[in-house]
Amino acid sequence: MDPKKKAITAAVVGTALGVGGLVVVAMPASAGDAPKLPAISAEDLVQSVMTADPGPFDGTVSVSNDLGLPAVGGAIPGMSALNVDSAHVFSDGTGKAKISLTNGASQETIVRDGTTVWDYHSSNNSATKTTIPADVATQHDMGAGELADPATATKELLAKVRENSTVSVDGTANVADRPAYELVFTPKPTERTLLREIRVAVDSQTRMPLRLSVLSNGTTAPALQVAFTDVKFAPQSADLFTFTPPQGAKVTEKTAKVDDQTKALADEAKQDTKLVGDGWDTVITGKVPADALSGKKPAGASGAEGRNADPQQLLSRFAKRVNGTWGSGYLFTTKVGGAVLTDDGRFAAGAVPEQVLYEALGQK
């Protein structure tokens, strides 16, 4: 299988390769002739996407990336997700969801029924059952990122770039055998970004986004793609959202909670992290934990939860040494953005040229 055509749940969109909080994804070519649909204004189409409630559905989601990321295996969180071969997403339309991920002969199954999340790995026949108390579920959308889909990603994206974009409807397309409008967001001339445009294929009937796309400056091929390859809008069987571990499976049970230490760490991270700029040229800045660059395992971590590689060796191998009035550190770039990690633990990341990253680091 072409490594650029791996299929994967859209969870990756929200977790693996967002730059500066901006979801960056791209689309494949449309199949067949463009369908004929009633004319609609760009503003009306945007509004219908933001308020869409497609109800229950199931579908296969695919991701194809041409970011030029280094092959670092599991050394960087989220990177291994790009090697998943296939994914199937189920939703009952009320918050219950299931994702089946396949990679070679192994499979991971994630099921959420509202108050419980199961995460099963066939490779070692192990499962984790997490119970979500009502107060925690209210304060924190537990598991939402894991069980995302293109519609969720699109709404987050539109909130980031809508006011700083020229918005248009660029014809129609067939996506997952469904007629769709092509909604296009182009950065205004004042935006300093490496991205040229973002495209959203919107289902003509349900108004649910079926495909998200981005093109970067200086390239003709998509940088990263997420799309439904097939989708069906229909009631889902209730037994899809229940899970029974296979015989002999090792089951670990835990309860989701936000203890004082977790709250303190979250508050500290919030204080240390800020957004510089807005829209397309937003840069997120902050500090990494002290042990992140030391190669030490976080407190309480063991095995796969610990470090998989020496961070300093990874930086030396895959990033460029840089310095300026802001200090010194390492620059990592892709086709759609970059990040700088300073020697004293500060970082800046965004879908912007490197000079914009340096300017953000220099702000107090």
Q: Determine the pLDDT at residue 310.
A: 65
pLDDT band of residue 52 (cuts 50, 70, 90) is confident
* Residue 248 belongs to some domain of the structure: no
Report the run of H or E that residue 97 belongs to, with start and end.
Answer: strand 97-103
The position carrying tokens 């990253």 is 357
Cα–Cα distance measured from residue 311 to residue 147, given in angstroms and rounded to the nearest whole number: 29
Instruction: Decide which of 241, 272, 299 is a domain's last residue.
Output: 241
Q: Tell me the CATH number at 7.
A: 2.50.20.10
Question: What DSSP line would sit under 263-278, residue for residue?
Answer: HHHHHHHHHH-EEES-
With 70 as the cut, is the pLDDT of residue 350 above it?
yes
Question: Do 44 and 101 fall into the same domain?
Answer: yes
Q: Name which of 32-41, 145-154, 189-198, 266-275 the model is least confident about.
A: 145-154
Beta bridge partners of 86: 102
Number of structural domains in the chain: 2
* Residue 247 belongs to some domain of the structure: no
* Residue 246 belongs to some domain of the structure: no
Question: Do 223 and 280 fall into the same domain?
Answer: no
pLDDT band of residue 180 (cuts 50, 70, 90) is very high
* Residue 237 belongs to some domain of the structure: yes
Average pLDDT over residues 106-132: 91
Instruction: Decide which of 241, 272, 294 is a domain's last residue.
Output: 241
Give the pTM. 0.74
* Residue 89 belongs to some domain of the structure: yes
Residues 6+ apart with CB under 8 A from 167: 42, 43, 46, 183, 184, 185, 186
Q: Which domain holds residue 292?
A: 259-362
Torsion (CA) 121, 14, 68, 342 in degrees, nearest 10:
-110
Question: Do 73 and 184 fall into the same domain?
Answer: yes
Question: Do 219 and 322 fall into the same domain?
Answer: no
> In the 3-class helix/strand/coil scheme, how is 122-171 assigned residue by residue?
CCCCEEEEEECCHHHHHHCCCCCCCCCCHHHHHHHHHHHHHHHEEEEEEE
Q: Name which of 44-48, 64-68, 208-212, 339-343 the model is least confident about.
A: 64-68
Q: What is the pLDDT of residues 283-330, one digit of tens each?
A: 999 887 665 555 555 444 444 444 455 667 777 788 899 999 999 999
Q: Determine the pLDDT at residue 19.
A: 30
Question: Do 190 and 120 fall into the same domain?
Answer: yes
Question: Do 114 and 181 fall into the same domain?
Answer: yes
Question: Do 100 and 233 fall into the same domain?
Answer: yes
Identify which of 134, 159, 168, 175 has the alpha carbon closest to the alpha carbon of residue 35.
175
Average pLDDT over residues 360-364: 85
Q: Determine the pLDDT at residue 32.
A: 58
* CA end-to-end span of the chain: 48
Question: Do 286 and 222 fall into the same domain?
Answer: no
Cα–Cα distance measured from residue 257 to residue 264, given in angstroms and rounded to the nearest whole number: 13
* Residue 36 belongs to some domain of the structure: yes
Q: Determine the pLDDT at residue 151.
A: 63
Q: How far is CA 91 from the centre of its chain?
A: 18
Q: What is the pLDDT of residues 76-89, one digit of tens each?
A: 444 444 556 678 88
Question: Do 72 and 176 fall into the same domain?
Answer: yes
Question: Do 71 and 159 fall into the same domain?
Answer: yes
Q: What is the pLDDT of residues 225-244, one digit of tens each?
A: 788 999 999 999 999 999 99
Look up residue 207 and give its two tokens. 């108004």
Question: Do 26 and 134 fall into the same domain?
Answer: yes
* Residue 113 belongs to some domain of the structure: yes
363 compared with 25, residue with greater pLDDT:
363
With 60 as the cut, is the pLDDT of residue 28 above it?
no
Question: Do 223 and 93 fall into the same domain?
Answer: yes
Q: What is the pLDDT of residues 243-268, one digit of tens each?
A: 999 999 999 998 877 666 656 655 66
pLDDT band of residue 8 (cuts 50, 70, 90) is very low
Instruction: Decide which of 182, 212, 241 is a domain's last residue.
Output: 241
* Element counts in the chain: helices (H) and strands (E): 7, 18
Q: Determine the pLDDT at residue 40.
A: 97
* Residue 249 belongs to some domain of the structure: no
